[in-house]
Amino acid sequence: MHPTKSYAAAAANDPLNPYIIQRREPGEYDVVIDIQYCGVCHSDVHQVRNEWGNSTFPMVPGHEIIGKVVKIGSSVSRYKVGDIVGVGCFVDSCCECHPCQEGLQQYCENGANLTYNGVERDGKTPTFGGYSTQIVVNEKYVLAIPSNLPLDQAAPLLCAGITTYSPLRQWKVKPGDKVGIIGLGGLGHMAVKLASAMGAEVTVLSTSNKKKEDAIRFGAKHFINTKDSKTFVDYVNYFDFMINTAAGNIDLSQYLPLLKLDKTMVCVGAPEHPSTLNVFPLIMKRRRLAGSLVGGIPETQEMLNFCGEHNITAEIELITIDKINEAYERMIKSDVRYRFVIDINSLR
């Protein structure tokens, strides 16, 4: 075992503080990664605060990890020392169930092993995430990062990128489709960039006018302030597809009528509290409400390659690790432009 520097929350709602974790010696198929950058996802905040009710402590968050391979196990064939690689939201899965066989490891029927706030395949060793200087991961769960992307800005692709890319692909968004993105935070701004690169006509639905210029700069054609009640009259039957990235509850019954007949809203935002739903907007136009969880390993690699080809990365605020608690407070206030990324060198 290797003592490794990290930042951890000792209990729900505690601030994050320096903490030493133990990383395993690399097994036959393991890659040891010196972490350079780690993005800060709102899921980190939800879990540190135990908002989903499944948190275990001490918790070292972080699932938008980019770093350099510094050591490999004896049978590793996909990566070599010196490669720049990424790790996303899970680090293992059963490999045997139907979803795993299909490359949809995030939906593993035996439980994907989350990068943090989870356990290894032994069912008991806790996993610790990317707010740390090193991580040891089986090569099958490690991604290759296109060489043209700046690494700090590419880190958020490992969660915010794939979480929004996957539904755009699954629902086959095509050029000219009118796509609505609810919430312009980490996920939302990636959704705008990705959907625009796919040729969609993107509209951002945001809770203020503050982010309007940015939304247009990221590729959106239109911007709607959802505090303006006219929105929900003017845009009825307008969208071919919507992604809801809001970290808090929205009134789904108010937003669903903005979809055309037969069209779908995919929820990726995972608020603390359940939503209530008036089913009439679904019934009256055979509209659909769906959910989606990150993306599998093959699709994550496809997304990274797509971002490499289209030069797509996140807009980031690079922070040192000691600013992490402040960053959480700002995310809670929807004041993030548009992803905090930790420079892990500040932890060394």
Say if CB 313 and CB 145 are below 8 A apart. Answer: no
Among 250, 252, 312, 344, binds ligand NAP (CB under 6 A): 250
Please, which residue, 120 or 317, has the CB nearer to ligand NAP? 317
> Is the Cβ of residue 47 or residue 203 nearer to Zn ion in the bound state?
47
Rounded to a whole number of angstroms, the minimum distance from the CB of residue 112 to Zn ion is 14
Tell me which of 8, 21, 41, 347 binds Zn ion, using CB under 5 A.
41
Where in 280-319 is the site for ligand NAP (CB under 6 A)? 292-294
3-state secondary structure of 137: strand
Distance of alpha carbon 232 from alpha carbon 265, whole angstroms: 15
Q: Work out what residue 27 binds among Zn ion, ligand NAP, none; the CB cut-off runs from 5 to 8 Å by kind.
A: none
> Between 321 and 331, whose beta carbon lies closer to ligand NAP?
331
Burial class (CB in 10 A: 0-12, 13-18, 19+), 118: buried
Residue nearest to ligand NAP (CB): 185
**Does residue number 159 form part of the binding site for Zn ion (CB under 5 A)?**
yes
The single-letter code of the amino acid at 42 is: H
Residue 186 binding: pick among ligand NAP, Zn ion, none (C-beta 5-8 Å cut-off by kind): ligand NAP
> Which residue's CB is nearer to ligand NAP, number 33 or number 268?
268
Query: Which listed range, 70-78, 127-135, 242-250, 307-315, lies at the site for ligand NAP (CB under 6 A)?
Result: 242-250
| Residue 334 binds to ligand NAP (criterion: CB under 6 A) | yes
Q: CA 249, CA 264: separation in Å to the nearest integer?
A: 18
65 sits near ligand NAP (criterion: CB under 6 A): no
85 binds Zn ion (CB under 5 A): no
Residue 234 neighbours by CB distance under 10 Å: 11
Q: How far apart are CA 293 and CA 106, in angstroms?
A: 7
- Using CB under 6 A as the binding criterion, the count of chain residues that bind ligand NAP stands at 32
Question: Rule CB under 5 A: is residue 132 a binding residue for Zn ion?
Answer: no
Sole binder of ligand NAP in the list 331, 342, 344, 347 (CB under 6 A): 331
Min dist. Cβ of residue 39 to ligand NAP (A) = 9
237 sits in the region (left: phi over 0; alpha: psi -120 to 50; else beta) called left
Per-residue binding string, ligand NAP, 147-166, x by CB under 6 A, is ------------xx--x---
Residue 187 as a binder of ligand NAP (CB under 6 A): the answer is yes
User: Please, where are the H alpha helices in the chain?
Assistant: 42-48, 98-101, 151-154, 160-170, 186-197, 212-217, 231-234, 252-255, 280-284, 297-310, 324-332
Write down the least CB distance from residue 137 to ligand NAP, Å: 19
- Sorted by sequence, the CB contacts under 8 Å of residue 200 that are 6+ apart come out as 168, 173, 174, 175, 176, 177, 178, 179, 241
**DSSP designation for 316:** E
Nearest to 347 by CA among 62, 42, 46, 57: 62
- Judged by the rule CB under 6 A, the positions of this chain that interact with ligand NAP are 41-43, 46, 159-160, 163, 183-188, 206-207, 211, 245-250, 268-271, 292-294, 331, 334, 336
